[in-house]
Structure 1
C-alpha cells in the first residue's frame, strides 16, 4: 500500500492539489471569502464549540456506536464487518453533523434564510431540523423525480416548516436541485446562506463540511481501537459528493496500514451509460464552482447520471476525493443497483438493520471484500443512514 502522510488541506485558495478552488463570478467570490473568514473566526470561539458539542451529545445522540455485524460476517465467511452507526443519529443519517454546524454558522453571521439542495432528502430533513432548532428560515430545492421517490423525507421537511421547491427542469434530480438552489441564493447572497449538502462546491464548503463530518472518523478511530486493540484493515463508505466518506476517512488518512475504499454507484453497469461512477469514469472538469473529477461531454458539460440511490446521483465528486484518488491514498470501487439491493435486503434480514440505499452500496462492497479476506481481518463500514425513506421504493421495486 502506498504510504502517504497528509498535511493540512486545502491550501489558502481552497485547493486540494489541482482540485477545488473558487470558479465563481466576482460577486459570489466575495461572498465565499466572507463565509470562509467567518467560519475560521467563529469556529474557534468557545461559545460556538461548546454549543455544537452540546448539540452533538444531547440532540444528535453522539457518539454513534460501532456495531460488530457477527451474523453478516459469518455469512460471508471471511473478514469481520463492523458498522459505524450514523443511521442512529437524530434525523437518521450523518447529514445532521454538518447541518447543525452550518445552521449555527448562519445564525452567528446574522443571515436571515438558509438555502440548500437535497437528493435523497436526508440533507433536506437534517437542515430543516437544524434551522427549526436555531430559528432560521429554511428553503430546500429537490428534483421532482426525487420528491416522488422519497416521499417520507418530503413529508418530514414539510412538517419541520421548511419551504420545499420542486425542481422541474433538466434531469429533475440532484444536479438540477443544486442549480436551482444557487439561482435562489444569488437573489440576495448578503442575507441568504447557502448550506451545501456535501464536500462539494466552491471553497470553503468542501473544507467546512469535511470538518463538521470529521467527528465520524475521530470517534471511529478511538472506538475500533478500543474494541479490537488495532486498526481495521479496510475502511469503506459510499461516495456521491462524498461527505460521509470524507468524515470517516479523515480519522484514518495518516494510518498508512489502513486501506480506504470509496464506493460509487455503478447503476445498471459501467458500460450501460446509466451510472454515477464519477471517479471511475470521469475526467477533471469544473462544476458548481469547483474543479473535480466529472462525468462530462466533449464540451465540458455535465452528463446525465443515474443511481438507484438519489443521494449518489451527482456527476461530480468532492475535490478532496479527487485529490486522494490522484495520489493513490484512497481506492474507489463501484457497486451496481442489483448488488445494492441485495445488500439492502441481506443486512435487513441477517442483522435487523435496514440501511439507506446509499449506505447499502458500501455494505455490498464490504460483503464482497470480506469473502476474500481471513476471519482475523476487519472491515469498518460507515453506515451513513437508515432506510426508512427507501422502504416503499424497495418493496415496489422487488415486488415484496
Structure 2
C-alpha cells in the first residue's frame, strides 16, 4: 500500500513496509509540521493579497499557528487558503493602508478586518469557510473580569442607550440614554495640586446650558460652600389682575410678574404646587425667597393676608409693620423669605417696595 497524505496539515501518512531508509526523515518532517501547527510563527507579505500554501509532506507558510500579515496595501485584499483545510489560526493584521483584509477559503466565505482594524483575531477554517471565534472580542465573554487596569488604547467605550455602569451588587450607578445625532456632551478633567477638577459642557454648539434635573420634587444639593459667578431666576409673567386669594407655586418660578392692575386686596397662598405642599418640599432649617410683582392703577390695592399651604401666617414685615395699602400708578414688589422651623411651622419675612 502506498503512502497517503492527511487532509489538513498534509502530513505524510506512511504505509506499512514503505519508505525503507527514509522513514526517519519523513517522520522528522511530520514532527516539524506539527510543531508549525502548534506553535509556529511566520510573517507573510500580502501587498496584493496572498494564497497560503499547504504542500504535501513539507513545511509550508499556511501551516503556522500564528501569521502576521505585513505590507502596504493599496486596496482590499484577500488571504486565501485551500478548500477542505481544517485548522485554527491566530492572525495579526499588521498591514499599512486603510483597506479591508479578508482571510478566506478559495471557494467559501471568510473573516474581514475593517479598513481601520489592524488588530489580531483568532479564526478557524471548518473546511468550507473561515470563521471568527470572537475570542479576542470582550463581548464573547458574558461576565468578563479584569485582572488589571483596563486601557482603551486610544479607543472609545460604547454603551448602548438605556444601559448602565453597575456597582458590585449589579445595581445601577450611572445610566446612559441615546440622543439621535447628538453633538454636545460632558467633558471631565482632573486637576493638579491646588486646582479644581472640571465638569464641562463641550461639543459642536457654541453656547449650551448644563441641565441638572432631580427626580420628581427632589432637589439638587451642593454640599459645602458655593461660588456663583451669575445666576438667572425663573420668571412667570401673567396678565392676572390681583384680587381674592391667589396661589404662588414655588416649584414653578422664583418671580411671579403680574402685568394687569390689581382689582382688589388679595390673600397670597404660598405652596409647592397643586400636588405638593410647601411643607413637603422643604426640610426644617431651610429657607426659600420669592417675589411677587403687582401693578396698581389710580386706585391702589395691596397684599392684605398671607397663607402657607392654605393656613394663615403673620409675616414679620420689613420696617416693623404690615402695609395698609398699595402705591398708586406703581409696581409694588412683595418679597417673602420663608424659613421652615418645624413640621408645618414657618417664619415668614416680608417686604413691600414701590417702583414707579
Query: Normalising by structure 2, what TM-score?
Result: 0.19
Instruction: Kindly indicate which of the two structures has a greater share of residues assigned to strand.
Output: 2
Higher RCO by CA contacts (8 Å cutoff, separation 6 or greater):
1
Instruction: Kindly indicate which of the two structures has a greater share of residues assigned to helix.
Output: 1
* Higher Rg: 2
